[in-house]
Structure 1
Amino acid sequence: MKETLGSGEKLEFEKAAMDLFQIQYKHNPVYRQWCDYVKGTPDRVNSLEDIPFLPIGFFKQKQLSIFKAEPELFFRSSGTGGYGQSKHAAYDPDFYDLRTQRIFEATYGPIQELCVLALLPAYLEREGSSLVRMAQHFINLSGDPDSGFYLHNLEALADKLKAKQAAGKKILLLGVSFALWDLAEQFPQNLSGQIIMETGGMKGRRKELIRADLHQIFKGAFQVDAIHSEYGMTELFSQAYSRGDGLFYPPDSMRVYSREMEDPFSRASFGKTGGLNIIDLANMDTCAFIETQDLGRCYEDASFEVLGRFDRAEVRGCNLMIG
């Protein structure tokens, strides 16, 4: 399955998910204990709907892995809010790099044609960010020598954006929301036709706004028709993208379902608000079946929207906004 996901070949999702459930039940002791606890053992799992989803908080408490050996590295969450860090074992970081590339390019085309400018100050100031690794990989792939990271030097970034826009170069400006807001206020400019992408996350730096209102600010400041969004987290090896309509479209390695608010073991109907459950086949070495604390709605075309977080849920660095 890793070869299929890496090559971009078409995957038979349901069969792959059922096979991966069997593997992870057998070899991931934490996931197996959870499945036993909720009576989701292999003899009871006959379809995708029967597969148990592991509450995402286990990534803070346990090392989730189908292997006994230590991984090459760990991706770590910010731990915003004092609830501790999630830790996601990465046994094959090169596969993560390749997967992020395949997913992005399936939506936006070749990265090598872009100037990638990453405005990710809060993520650059700590170690183990999967988002920073993804951005670094995109920067490396970019054919533009001006691609790179920006920490707090907004004026230099604004000058670079202006020069690239004037030269007719295609830009990906990837930024955490509070930093993009600072840029929008201090250095508004015409970036029409460019990809302005927020990754979520105010991290207590700015007032919380619903995503739609924040996007209106960005669209006005940068004179673009849409603000793009990335949905990702430490606990996932896959990402989903929104091109500005509020709907995220998962890649072929990922499916998102909503669960009933009062019954986490039942799926919510299409269009109904519920907690988001995610199957991420790229999490093949850890746990592919995750019950998140995000609220959202799922639709028949496999798209989904993110509406916020459960009450008392940890404030997460990647998704602080509601929208």
Structure 2
Amino acid sequence: MSIVFPMHPEQIFQIENEADFQALCLKTFQNQYQHLAPYREFCDYLGRNPSNTERIENIPFLPIEFFKTHSIIQNGLRPETVFTSSGTTGSKLSRHPVADLQLYRESFLKAFELFYGPAQNFCVLALLPSYQERPGSSLIYMVSELIRRSGHPQSGFVKTDLKAFARELQKIDDQGSPVLLIGVSFALLDLAQNHPLSLKNTIAMETGGMKGRRKEMVREELHKILCRGLGLPKIHSEYGMTELLSQAYSKGNGLFQSPPWMRVLLRDTEDPLSFLEPERTGGINIIDLANQYSCSFLATQDLGRLKPKGQFEVLGRFDHSDIRGCNLMAL
């Protein structure tokens, strides 16, 4: 096989059509097959390589559990940082070595601006107590940058006094300032149920997960409670995880949209090498081209359903999967 030179990462943010996406996927697969040893071994086991892979549906999707047992970074590269999953007590954590933090920043900033506009348009408030309690959170890294770029004097991470925070949030909202309140589900529930608000200029965005603090519930039930307690017509959501460098967003009703360099495909739960058409429930496979230096083709343990116009729903997780902090809603 001829030598494959890594493409310039900026190319992923210049995707304009399906042909661009397909071409960059195949080029990324060729590069990662050559330079990412654990992925190459996995592909060889399945009998797949760049010479017999002509469509993205034929590219092997690495089970996300490999991030718990292998170092998923291209040969010879040193990570600038390592993001780790939250996990439960005693569980083995996923570790994502990130070779290029600038690529991660570009990915989450461009995706956020695509769906919401520049961060400086908002007062960004983060209600993420479980994430703040540990190092290595990719979500904390992202939100910290959004807060910094916001420039609003009251942007920041929320302290533990929810009663005082509720008063401050209502005051900012009443002044007409657009607010982005991003929070883990259990903390938003605590706020909505114990300190009801009447918000008009706030986007409330949940990142999922009860972290063992609350009973898991379906997304529809969670959003209904949050809408009632916060006085909002709908709740937004963010879908991301430690093993990804991109995020999808939902502006309501649990329908997520990905940026152009990220895509969800659904695998058959009985045949993981086969893919499903829209409206059927299957395992979520993710292509994240921002993962240029780790692995861009991942098979998650989440269950989902594809919808029209490239949207998707996250319905839950496979049975017996370990619960971790990446937008988990039990069925």
Q: Give the TM-score range, shorter chain.
A: over 0.9
| Rounded Cα–Cα distance in structure 1 between residues aligned with 2:249 and 2:120 | 19
Q: 1:33 matched to which residue of 2?
A: 41
| Rounded Cα–Cα distance in structure 2 between residues aligned with 1:171 and 1:61 | 40
Q: 1:242 matched to which residue of 2?
A: 250
Q: 1:135 matched to which residue of 2?
A: 143
Alignment map for 1:37-56 (pairs within 5 Å): 37-56=45-64
Q: Secondary structure at the match of 1:174?
A: strand
Change (3 A) 1:55 1:81: farther
Deviations 1:223-264 (A, max 9, x none): 111100000000000000000121100111101010001000
Q: Which amino acid in structure 2 is aligned with residue 3 of structure 1? A: E
Change (3 A) 1:60 1:102: same
Q: Which amino acid in structure 1 is aligned with residue 238 of structure 2? A: E
| Rounded Cα–Cα distance in structure 2 between residues aligned with 1:19 and 1:117 | 39
Q: 2:16 matched to which residue of 1?
A: 10
Question: In the alignment, which of 149, 154, 163 is matched to residue 155 of structure 1?
Answer: 163
Change (3 A) 1:151 1:293: farther
| Rounded Cα–Cα distance in structure 2 between residues aligned with 1:153 and 1:253 | 39
* Cα distance, 1:151 vs structure 2: 4.1
Whether 1:105 aligns to 2:98 is no
Whether 1:211 aligns to 2:216 is no
* Cα distance, 1:80 vs structure 2: 2.0
| Rounded Cα–Cα distance in structure 2 between residues aligned with 1:83 and 1:260 | 27
Q: Secondary structure at the match of 2:256?
A: coil
Q: Which amino acid in structure 2 is aligned with residue 280 of structure 1? A: D
Whether 1:169 aligns to 2:177 is yes
* Cα distance, 1:185 vs structure 2: 1.3
Q: Which amino acid in structure 2 is aligned with residue 129 of structure 1? A: S
Q: Which amino acid in structure 1 is aligned with residue 157 of structure 2? A: F
Whether 1:201 aligns to 2:209 is yes
Change (3 A) 1:81 1:258: farther
Question: In the alignment, which of 66, 90, 97 is matched to residue 89 of structure 1?
Answer: 97
* Cα distance, 1:210 vs structure 2: 0.5
Deviations 1:13-39 (A, max 9, x none): 110000000000000000000000011
| Rounded Cα–Cα distance in structure 2 between residues aligned with 1:262 and 1:310 | 12
Q: Secondary structure at the match of 2:124?
A: strand
Residue pair 1:81, 1:316 contacting (<8 A) in 2 also: no
Deviations 1:112-153 (A, max 9, x none): 010000000000000000000010000000020110001422
Q: Which amino acid in structure 2 is aligned with residue 34 of structure 1? A: F
* Cα distance, 1:203 vs structure 2: 0.7
Residue pair 2:177, 2:201 contacting (<8 A) in 1 also: no
Question: In the alignment, which of 102, 120, 124 is matched to residue 132 of structure 2?
Answer: 124
Residue pair 2:15, 2:261 contacting (<8 A) in 1 also: no
Residue pair 1:209, 1:322 contacting (<8 A) in 2 also: yes
Residue pair 1:237, 1:280 contacting (<8 A) in 2 also: yes
Whether 1:320 aligns to 2:325 is no
Runs of 4+ in 1 over 6 A off after TM superposition: none
TM-score of the aligned structures, taking structure 1 as reference length = 0.96
Residue pair 1:81, 1:315 contacting (<8 A) in 2 also: no
Q: 1:58 matched to which residue of 2?
A: 66
Larger displacement relative to structure 2 (156-165 or 268-277): 156-165
| Rounded Cα–Cα distance in structure 2 between residues aligned with 1:213 and 1:193 | 23
Residue pair 1:270, 1:298 contacting (<8 A) in 2 also: yes
| Rounded Cα–Cα distance in structure 2 between residues aligned with 1:151 and 1:122 | 12
Larger displacement relative to structure 2 (230-239 or 145-154): 145-154
Deviations 1:69-104 (A, max 9, x none): 321100100122633110111111122122111101
Question: In the alignment, which of 176, 179, 187 is matched to residue 179 of structure 1?
Answer: 187
Residue pair 2:173, 2:201 contacting (<8 A) in 1 also: no
| Rounded Cα–Cα distance in structure 2 between residues aligned with 1:151 and 1:266 | 47
Deviations 1:22-70 (A, max 9, x none): 0000000000000000111222211111100000000000111113232
* Cα distance, 1:156 vs structure 2: 2.9
TM-score of the aligned structures, taking structure 2 as reference length = 0.94
| Rounded Cα–Cα distance in structure 1 between residues aligned with 2:124 and 2:208 | 18
Q: Which amino acid in structure 2 is aligned with residue 144 of structure 1? A: H
Give the paired residue count: 322
Question: In the alignment, which of 263, 269, 280 is matched to residue 261 of structure 1?
Answer: 269
Q: 2:232 matched to which residue of 1?
A: 224
Q: Secondary structure at the match of 1:301?
A: helix
Q: What stretches of structure 2 of length at least 5 have no aligned partner? A: 1-7
